[in-house]
């Protein structure tokens, strides 16, 4: 092999590795907002069987400001003594939606007039106080998937402000491993 050919191969290899490193840096900085954590509190019962206690899930620690309907989120409450508790729920109503009731059926009407129906088994809570009210900027209606457990959500607390929502959980992407 000639000297020119050897230096060309070396340069090509250097360029290729430079591209690999640049791509790695881009990927790592983009995914810093994601983390893997296990769900260990009793609050995970609110989202059973989607979330299982003791399993790990992918968390988006910096979710977009406007959350999507049906996203599973980690949110917090603070009791009168200042104790902070973690909760898991599903986003069912987003800013701009209006809570409606026809007979026994509850739904949210979005800005385009499309109806998003809530499950029939809403159980406890006095949602009458929220009826015909439009969710304001930064307000969300959060509902537990497992409504048989006595854990808080919007049925008892009303609309939850975005500042209390800390992360979005991506169970289907990670699959919940041990």
Given strand 34-38, what is the order of strands in its sheet? Answer: 34-38, 56-60, 165-170, 72-78, 84-93, 139-143, 160-161
Q: What pLDDT digit, counting tens, does each position of 131-150 carry?
A: 889 999 999 999 999 988 88
Contact (Cβ atoms closer than 8 angstroms) between residue 81 and residue 131: no
Closest listed residue to residue 108, CA positions, set 135, 90, 128: 135
* CB of 84 closer than 8 Å to CB of 76: yes
Provide the pLDDT for residue 118.
Answer: 92
Residues of the chain above pLDDT 90, percent: 38
> Which secondary structure element, helix H or strand E, spans residue 106, and what is its range?
strand 105-109
Average predicted confidence (pLDDT) for the chain: 84
pLDDT more than 70, % of the chain: 87
- Decide if pLDDT at 27 tops 80: no
More confident residue, 119 or 126: 119
d(Cα 98, Cα 134) in Å, to the nearest integer? 4
């Amino acid at each position: 092999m000639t000297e020119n050919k050897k230096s060309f191969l070396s340069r090509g290899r250097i360029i290729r590795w430079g591209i690999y490193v640049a791509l790695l840096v881009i990927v790592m900085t983009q995914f810093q907002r994601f983390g893997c954590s296990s769900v260990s509190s009793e609050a995970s019962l609110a989202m059973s069987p989607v979330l299982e206690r003791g399993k790990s899930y992918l968390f988006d620690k910096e979710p977009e400001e406007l959350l999507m309907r049906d996203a599973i989120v980690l949110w917090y409450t603070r009791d009168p003594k200042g104790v902070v508790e973690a909760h898991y729920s599903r986003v069912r109503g987003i800013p701009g939606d209006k809570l409606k009731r026809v007979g026994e059926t509850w739904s949210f009407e979005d800005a385009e007039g499309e109806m998003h129906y809530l499950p029939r088994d809403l159980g406890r809570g006095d949602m009458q106080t929220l009826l015909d009210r439009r969710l304001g900027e930064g307000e969300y209606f959060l509902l537990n998937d497992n409504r048989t457990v006595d854990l808080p959500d919007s049925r008892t607390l009303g609309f939850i402000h975005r500042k209390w929502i800390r992360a979005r959980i991506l169970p289907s992407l990670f699959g919940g491993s041990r």
